[in-house]
Amino acid sequence: MSHHILELKDISHQYSDGTLALSGLSLRILHGESVAIVGANGSGKTSMLLHLNGCLAPSQGEIRIGELPIRKKTLQHIRKTVGMVFQDPDDQLFMPTVYEDVAFGPLNMGYPEKEIENRVQSALEKVGGNHLINRVPYRLSGGEKRMVAIATVLAMEPDILVMDEPTANLDPKARRRLISWLKTFFHTKIIATHDLDMALEVCDRTVILYQGKLRADGKSCDILKNKELLEENDLELPLSLLSCPVCNKQKIKATEHI
C-alpha cells in the first residue's frame, strides 16, 4: 500500500522572522506504523506536523504521500488521506454546535445525511463525547474541546492520522479512553507529544527532534528507556519508568536498620 507511505526528503523550514524551525529533516514512515514525535519545546514537532497536510510549505525539500508530492494541486486529495488534529482545538472548532463541527468534514466529502450522522455518532463515541453533541463548542472546557477536535478528524476516517499533543488537557478517564482507541487504529498514526508514557504504550517507533533536526529514530522501547539519550535532548524518562522517590527512601531507611 505505497499510497500510504509518507516521506520527508531534506526538509527545512524558516519562518518569516528568520527562525529556522526545521533543518535537513528526512524521514520515511510506512503504512501502518505508529510513530511518536518527541522533543522539548521549540524542537520543531508542530512545524513538522503542519507540513504533512500542506498547512506549511517547506523552504527546502519535498514531502510525498505515496507517489504524490504535496503541492497546491494535490492538497484536496492529500487532506482526505491525512487527518490532522491541531495542537489548539480552537483552530478546528468554528460551527454553532458540536454536531455540525464533527459533521463538517464528511459533509464536504459528499456523504449522504445518514452516513454523516453515523460517522458523527461513531467519532464522538470513540472519544467519549456523545453527551456534547448539541453543545456550543466555545462554551466547552479545554478537555472537552480537545475531544471534539479529535472527533472532527476521526469522522473523516483518514488513512494517516496526525495528532499534535492529543492528550493535553484530557482528564485521566478521557486520556485512557483515547489511548485504548488509538491501539485499535491500525492505519498510520503520527503523534507529536510530551506524554512519553502514552508514546511508549501506543507507538512502536519514536523519533526525537532537537532544534529542528533529527536526533534519534528507533523502537520506542529502546529510545524511551534510554535515560542518557533523553537527557541529551532535554527530555526525561516516562513517569512509568521512574522509581518512586518515597518508596526508595523508605527502602534505604529500612536497610540502614538491618
> Which value, in Å, is the radius of gyration of the alpha carbons in the chain?
20
Mean local confidence (pLDDT), 115-136: 94
Mean local confidence (pLDDT), 2-6: 73
Mean local confidence (pLDDT), 182-196: 93
CB 61 within 8 A of CB 51: no
DSSP string, 53-114: TTSS--SEEEEEETTEE--GGGHHHHHHHEEEE-SSGGGT--SSSHHHHHHHHHHHTT--HH
Q: What is the pTM of this model?
A: 0.89
Cα-flanking dihedrals φ and ψ of residue 245, to 5°?
A: -65, -30
Of the segments 34-43, 62-71, 237-246, which one has the largest average pLDDT value? 34-43
Residue 194 predicted with pLDDT over 80: yes
Order of strands, edge to edge, in the sheet holding 82-85? Answer: 82-85, 160-164, 188-192, 34-38, 205-210, 213-219
Question: Whose CA is closest to 145, among 164, 163, 130, 129?
Answer: 129
State the alpha helices, DSSP H only, in the chain: 45-51, 75-81, 98-108, 113-127, 142-154, 172-182, 196-202, 220-223, 227-232, 245-256
Classify domain 2-90+160-256 by CATH architecture. 3-Layer(aba) Sandwich (3.40)
Who's near 214: CB < 8 A, 6+ residues apart?
25, 26, 27, 207, 208
Query: What count of other Cβ atoms lies within 10 Å of the Cβ of residue 207?
Result: 24
Domains of the chain, by residue range, sit at 2-90+160-256
CB 159 within 8 A of CB 188: yes
pLDDT at 185: 87
Cα-flanking dihedrals φ and ψ of residue 111, to 5°?
A: -75, 150
Position 8, amino acid: L
pLDDT at 77: 87
The tally of CA atoms less than 13 A away on the side-chain side of residue 39 is 25
Residue 25 predicted with pLDDT over 50: yes
Q: Which three cell numbers stand for residue 121?
A: 455518532
The region, left, alpha or beta by phi > 0 then psi within -120 to 50, assigned to residue 94 is alpha
Residue 250 predicted with pLDDT over 70: no
pLDDT at 1: 44
Question: Whose CA is closest to 213, among 12, 67, 23?
Answer: 23
